[in-house]
């Protein structure tokens, strides 16, 4: 029988240290008011000394496994979306696999910056639907604090560290298309925007990881247009209207991008998940964090329809329609 990928659990982790806007006032020329008005962010979490992306990924994975009542031995695939891997190689996913003591299975990283989790979810969906794995941990994890220029007030106020995870399970599919779990995904990239958001260093370029450089105005404009387009593609593809979707789960970059996109899509803010005030932009960890928080609080209920959307450096962007 054909399979579809059901979301059986979510998990997340934020490092203990919270760095508030007030804290940043002491190190760069900024203010809580400026940051909150322009971005909606109040604080971000920062990994402890020696705490790596894989450590955060493992904690998010364990929280998803606990919630599902599963053990690492029940997992046969691990995909980690990250821009800040522990090492150039091996992948963060195999470090997570070893840390969890998960059995032999597929494990690799996906790099699509802030859209990374949607790319990873789509990849995992394909692997499940083609029978290559039965239960995949899809993780978004980032230690962005290590690629932030802490003297650049235009970027350092926006980003934070953290991790989120979902577990996808192969289930029998009635009919020709899934009506539950991952219903559809739409992925896009346009490299002609590669200079809108990038790091000014890299393994090949200079052996360094570099720092985030961003054309904020350009990213803002493209984010609203391209994420709206990706959402509309998902709606059209599934013959749905925006009002049929219970929750819009946007990339948690900036409240003004989220509000402008929701307005363009005519989705009231009551049906939009917003968690960024607490953790800022955590890139690939953003979507699974934004999914886990409302699922744990009971705001998003099993059986509801959620439309995920993200955009990141590249530019890369996409959407995923999920019945939870
Ligand atoms: N504190 C105080 N003042 C600041 C700060 C700061 N942290 N940063 C910039 N300023 C100043 C600027 O220097 C400028 O001063 P000037 O007028 O004297 O030159 C003034 O504030 C206005 O700067 P703008 O860049 O015009 O501010 P804007 O209103 O556009 O907001 C922001 C900047 C928040 C970056 C906005 O462009 C934005 O939201 N862009 C989207 C970027 C984003 O979210 N990126 C995340 C990564 S991509 C993604 O995940 C989608």
* Domains contained in the chain, number: 2
Q: Are residues 145 and 9 in the same domain?
A: yes
* Strand, helix or coil for residue 161: strand
Mean pLDDT of 116-129: 98
The answer for 28, left when phi > 0, alpha when psi is -120 to 50, beta otherwise, is: beta
Query: How high does pLDDT run on average in the chain?
Result: 97
Preceding amide of 90 cis, omega within 30:
yes
Please check whether residues 88 and 115 belong to one and the same domain: yes
Nearest Cα to 80, choosing from 211, 233, 64? 64
Rounded to 5°, angle at Cα 52 from 51 and 53: 135
**pLDDT more than 90, % of the chain:** 99
pLDDT tens for each residue of 228-263: 999 999 999 999 999 999 999 999 999 999 999 999
Identify which of 239, 220, 209, 208 has the alpha carbon closest to the alpha carbon of residue 158: 220
Report the pocket of ligand 1 as residue ranges, CB < 6 Å. Answer: 30, 34-35, 38-39, 114, 153-154, 157-158, 197, 214, 216-217, 219-220, 223, 251, 253-254, 256-257, 281, 311-312
SS3 of residue 94 by DSSP = helix
β 316-323/305-312 pair status: antiparallel
Contact criterion met (CB below 8 Å) for 21 and 43:
yes
Told to judge if 251 belongs to the known catalytic residues of this protein, a careful annotator would answer yes
Average pLDDT of 130-141? Answer: 98
CA–CA separation, 67 and 244 (whole Å): 28
The position carrying tokens 């530019």 is: 315
What pLDDT sits at residue 95?
Answer: 98
* Same domain membership, residue 147 and residue 225: no
Spatial CA neighbour of 6 closest among 169, 172, 179: 169
Does residue 100 sit in the same domain as residue 186?
no
Compute the distance from residue 215 Cα to the ligand 1 centre, in Å.
9
Cα–Cα dist 55/58, whole Å: 5
In this structure, the answer to whether residues 210 and 296 fall within a common structural domain is yes
Ligand 1 pocket, mutate which of 154, 255, 277 (most atoms under 8 A from CB): 154
Q: By the 8 A CB rule, do 313 and 284 touch?
A: no
* Tens-digit pLDDT profile for residues 272-323: 999 999 999 999 999 999 999 999 999 999 999 999 999 999 999 999 999 9
Q: How far is CA 291 from CA 133, 163, 248, 306, in A?
A: 23, 12, 10, 9
What pLDDT was estimated at residue 130? 97
pLDDT, mean of residues 206-213: 97
Instruction: Specify the 3-state DSSP secondary structure of 153.
Output: helix
For residue 134, name the pLDDT band (cuts at 50, 70, 90): very high
Distance CA 23, CA 25 (A): 5
Q: Cα 127 to the chain's mean position, in Å? A: 19
* Same domain assignment for residues 140 and 213: no
231/309 same-domain check? yes
Q: Which two tokens stand for residue 220?
A: 């803002």
Q: Which of helix, strand or coil describes residue 4?
A: strand
Predicted local confidence at residue 312, as pLDDT: 97
pLDDT of residue 279: 98
- The dihedral through the CA atoms of 187, 298, 96, 45 has a sign that is positive
The verdict on 157 and 305 lying in the same domain is no
Take atom 20 of ligand 1 and give the residue whose Cα is closest: 154
Q: Encoding tokens for residue 167?
A: 């577990």
44-80 tens-digit pLDDT:
999 999 999 999 999 999 999 999 999 999 999 999 9
CA–CA distance, 313 with 283 (Å, rounded to integer): 10
Q: Which CATH number goes with the domain that contains 75?
A: 3.40.47.10
Would you place residue 166 in the very low, low, confident or very high pLDDT band (cuts 50, 70, 90)? very high
**Separation of 45 CA from ligand 1 center, angstroms?**
20
Domain boundary residue, one of 172, 190, 224: 172
CA–CA dist 147, 130 (Å, integer): 37
Q: Which domain holds residue 257?
A: 181-323
Give the pLDDT score at 219.
Answer: 96
| Mutation to probe ligand 1, out of 38, 113, 219, 316 (largest number of atoms < 8 A from CB) | 38
Structural contact between residues 3 and 170, judged by C-beta atoms closer than 8 angstroms: yes
pLDDT in tens, 261-284: 999 999 999 999 999 999 999 999
Chain length of the chain? 324
- Residues 189-203 have pLDDT tens digits of 999 999 999 999 999
Domain's final residue, options 117, 142, 172: 172
C-alpha of residue 91 to centroid of ligand 1, in Å:
33
Residue 216 backbone dihedrals phi, psi, to 5 degrees:
-55, -40
CA distances from 88 to 85, 95, 108 (A): 7, 12, 12
Quick one: which atom of ligand 1 is closest to the CA of 313? Answer: 48
Same domain, 7 and 90: yes
pLDDT at 112: 98
């Amino acid at each position: 029988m054909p399979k579809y990928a059901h979301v059986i659990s979510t998990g997340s982790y934020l490092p203990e240290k919270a760095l508030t806007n007030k804290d940043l006032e002491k190190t760069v020329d900024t203010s809580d008011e400026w940051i909150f008005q322009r971005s909606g962010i109040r604080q971000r979490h920062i990994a402890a000394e020696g705490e790596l992306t894989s450590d955060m990924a493992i904690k998010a994975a364990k929280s998803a496994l606990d919630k599902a009542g599963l053990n690492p031995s029940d997992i046969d695939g691990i995909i980690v979306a990250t821009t800040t891997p522990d090492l150039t190689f091996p992948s963060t996913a195999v470090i997570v696999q070893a840390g969890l003591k998960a059995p032999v299975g597929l494990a690799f990283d996906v790099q699509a910056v802030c859209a990374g989790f949607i790319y990873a979810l789509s990849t995992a969906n394909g692997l499940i639907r083609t029978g290559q794995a039965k239960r995949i941990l899809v993780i978004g994890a980032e230690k962005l604090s290590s690629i932030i220029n802490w003297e650049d007030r235009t970027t350092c106020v926006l980003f934070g560290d953290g991790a989120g995870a979902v577990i996808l399970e192969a289930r029998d599919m009635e009919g020709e298309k899934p009506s539950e779990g991952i219903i559809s995904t739409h992925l896009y990239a346009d490299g002609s925007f590669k200079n809108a958001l990038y790091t000014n260093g890299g393994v090949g370029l200079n052996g360094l990881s570099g720092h985030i450089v961003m054309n904020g105005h350009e990213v803002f404009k493209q984010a609203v247009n391209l994420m709206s387009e990706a959402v509309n593609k998902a709606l059209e593809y599934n013959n749905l209207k925006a009002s049929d979707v219970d929750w819009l789960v946007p990339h948690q970059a900036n409240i003004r991008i989220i509000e402008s996109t929701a307005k363009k899509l005519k989705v009231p803010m009551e049906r939009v998940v917003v968690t960024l005030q607490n953790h800022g932009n955590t890139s690939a960890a953003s979507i699974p964090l934004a999914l886990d928080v409302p699922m744990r609080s009971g705001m998003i209920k099993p059986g509801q329809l959620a439309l995920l959307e993200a955009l990141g450096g590249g530019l890369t962007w996409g959407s995923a329609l999920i019945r939870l």
